Amino acid sequence: MSILGSGFSMKIGYGWDSHEFKRGVPLKIGGMTIPHSEGLSGHSDGDVLLHAVTDALLGAIAAPDIGTLFSPSDPRWKGADSAVFLTEAVKRVEAAGYAVANIDSTLVLAAPRIGPHAPAIRAHLANLLRIPADCVGLKAKTPEGLNLENTGLAHVVVLLEKIPSKKRKTSRRK
């Protein structure tokens, strides 16, 4: 146990996810459907960004990971909207007495270009997290030299801040 105990005013979490591209599947990134010839396959909707954000949030509060809470072997989650997972993670963060301060994310994929979709993704993610859009960092990189042209990856870091106990019940930031 830390000499500071569990009274930290901030916590950080890291999450990442990857899925393979597949024809005949819609491409969902950050809760948004993006036009593309292939989507990311997965047991749920394959949204690597929402999966990575969910794991980052859960990790910051030392909760079970996304695969434990929403097992890929459970038929209830087949084709599920990943916003369900993220919403549960946000509830757990708030129940632990924290709020999301900001996130920073990096997508790694050969195509499609994320730039044209970035403002909508950031706005949607901010809405799901109940934070301002200027607290959502989103970058996209190509997998040059990594031999990952048929894969989409997401890396996310999240910063949580302690909610003062008298504000916990009324804290709904936007």
Domains of the chain, start order: 10-168 (3.30.1330.50)
Average pLDDT over residues 93-116: 96
- The backbone region for 51, taken as left when phi is positive above 0, alpha when psi lies in -120 to 50, beta otherwise, is alpha
pLDDT of residue 112 exceeding 60 = yes
Tens digit of pLDDT for each residue in 48-104?
Answer: 999 999 999 999 999 999 888 888 888 787 878 899 999 999 999 999 999 999 999
* pLDDT(168) > 60: no
**66/88 Cα distance (integer angstroms):** 10
C-alpha to C-alpha distance for 91 and 106, rounded to whole angstroms = 24
